Structure 1
Amino acid sequence: MKQRLVTAFSCLCIAIGAYAQDFPAFQAKQLIHRGDTLPYRILYPDGYDPEGQYPVLFFLHGAGERGNDNASQLTHGGSLFLADSIRHAFPAIIVFPQCPEASFWSNVAIQSQDDGKREFYFRTGGKPSVGMRLFLRLVRQTLRDEGVDKKQVYIGGLSMGAMGTYEALRRKPKVFAAAFAICGGDNTFNVKKYAHIPLWIFHGEQDDVVPPTHSHAIVTELKRLGANPKYTFYPTANHNSWDAAFAEPDLLPWLFSHAKK
């Protein structure tokens, strides 16, 4: 009896884990270009009309969700956009691409230190990574083929995805109406390229994976350039500050309130 209960509980845990990372409402698709594949999941608003004009949000996941299963990228954030209240209040197209395992969303060199910590060296130029190149192609394809309001194109991400968010903003500064970045970083020399874009920056002050100094530096540079960014630093949060950010009641109202002129 005990063994059957353990087995049943194990199966339940596996099922819950699978469900937590794979939501059927997000349609599974893929972009293939020159032998490279970018899996992605797309959530359409209820009653979606391909001839309509809807806001679109691209969400970039962290390094731990890379791969080609076309499911793991929904681990953090996927459930947020499935809530009935959110879908009703913000009828938008939501896109979750999945970065290839061997790639990275941004051009950053990461060096491990003797104390176990890592140093991030963000570039100011160069060709995009495979992941970023495919993502930018996906953006173009989505804006071309889906019922998108091109004045309401948004991007956000966490950790590696936040780094990719900053890079996408500097590479395509005319595309996005607003953005959010959770526990990310960038070279401050890049900030001037997206200083005009409304941006909400989040970071945990106890983050021992991506130091919060990176986000503080971006905020400082944005202010120096005359921008007025929103920023929230959680005093006791570590790297998973996305939990607190996703719980912010003003995040999505703020994001979707912006439109390009």
Structure 2
Amino acid sequence: MKKGLLILATVFISVITTAQDYALFQKFRFIQSGDTLPYRLLLPEHYDPQKKYPLVLFLHGRGESGNDNEAQLLHGASLFLKEENRKKFPAIVVFPQNAVKYYWSNVQTVADSSGKRSFYFTENGPPSPSMQLVVGLMENLGRQYRIKEEQVYVMGLSMGGMGTFEIVNRMPHVFAAAVPICGGANPAIAANLKNASWWIFHGDKDVVVAPEYSRKMVEAMKAKGVDVRATFYPEAGHNSWDAAFAEPGLLPWLFAHKRKDNFKKTSNN
């Protein structure tokens, strides 16, 4: 009985601690032309407004869409809340939240009678409303905070992995490195991705977003001379982000990349 109560107390404390940690991500809403983008923002420990910091943009997956300004922290936020990561890699981290009826990227989805989905990515065309808001948010953050222009990064999973390719394509002079997890894009955009370094992740047993979408991007990017590495987990399904976030070299790799292009060179939309 006492052992059971101890376990329950430990779980309870863990839940409370997690909730308190997530509260470190401040709540904001970015408004542009009447549209609203909820987002959460984590400042470095001992934040000094006179100092410059790297910026990390994180794009969530489809399941975390909405307007509660909470769900987008479900996957990935804890990585940046770990004490050792906050100390080693002080950065401004932003998690915007996509509206339910939109996608980050211009992806088209077709589902067959069994529910299996296929994805089709457009090469050109205007950004989705959510992507347009994120581009505006990035430009706004560059005015609000002192950003290390050579250290701006983007990560994303599933729909957000697709959005990672999309935003680098639309803002090719901004990002030093990009990490799309179980995503995909139109291989025709590969040449426009060469200003960033890439680490692509996918699970070989993913039945939601097939690993072929990432494999095709890796092949096309290598053909265009893009600095890209890829990790495919043989036993992982769609939640390959769990394995990706557990990679001890992920954040050291990310923050090691710098670029000379000016952060204020904005979109390609």
TM-score, length-scaled by structure 1: 0.92
Deviation at 1:49, TM superposition (A): 1.5
Matches of 2:174 and 2:111 in 1, distance apart?
Answer: 35
Match of 1:49, SS?
Answer: coil
CA-based RMSD of the aligned residues comes to 1.9
Instruction: Quote how far apart the aligned CAs of 1:20 are.
Output: 5.8
* Distance across 2 between alignment mates of 1:169 and 1:234: 24
SS in 1 for 2:162: helix
**Alpha-carbon distance in 2 for matches of 1:225, 1:31:** 36
The 1:20/1:245 distance shift into structure 2, 3 A limit, reads: farther
1:152-176 CA distances to partner (integer Å, 9 max, x unpaired)?
A: 1000100000101100000000011
SS at structure 1 position matched to 2:154: strand
Aligned to 2:253: 254
Q: Which 4+ residue blocks in structure 1 deviate beyond 3 angstroms?
A: 15-22
Partner of 1:150: 149
For residues 99 and 21 of structure 1, the distance between their equivalents in structure 2, rounded to whole angstroms, comes to: 23
- Tell me the distance in 1 between the aligned counterparts of 2:60 and 2:147: 22
Pairing 1:136-147 to 2, within 5 Å after superposition: 136-147=135-146
Q: 2:167 is matched by which residue type in structure 1?
A: A
TM normalised by structure 2 equals 0.89
- SS of residue paired to 2:149: strand
Aligned residue for 1:58?
57
How many residues get paired? 251
Deviation at 1:230, TM superposition (A): 1.1
Per-residue CA deviation, residues 82-104 of structure 1 (Å, 9 max, x unaligned), is 11000000000110000111111
Conserved in 2, the CA contact under 8 Å of 1:21 and 1:75?
no
CA, structure 1 residues 61+226, in 2 after alignment: closer, same or farther (shift >3 Å)?
same
Query: Structure 1: which 5+ runs fail to align?
Result: none
d(CA) in 2 for partners of 1:178 and 1:61? Answer: 17
Map of 2:188 onto structure 1: 189
Amino acid at match of 2:184: G
Unaligned stretches of 5+ residues in structure 2: 261-269
What are the equivalent positions in structure 2 for 1:238-249 lying under 5 Å apart? Answer: 238-249=237-248
Q: How does 1:67-146 map to 2 (within 5 A)?
A: 67-146=66-145
Does structure 2 retain, via aligned residues, the 8 Å contact 1:22–1:72? no
Three-state SS of the structure 1 residue aligned to 2:200 is strand
| Alignment-derived partner of residue 41 in structure 1 | 40
What amino acid is the match of 1:24? A
Aligned to 1:229, the other structure's residue is in SS state strand
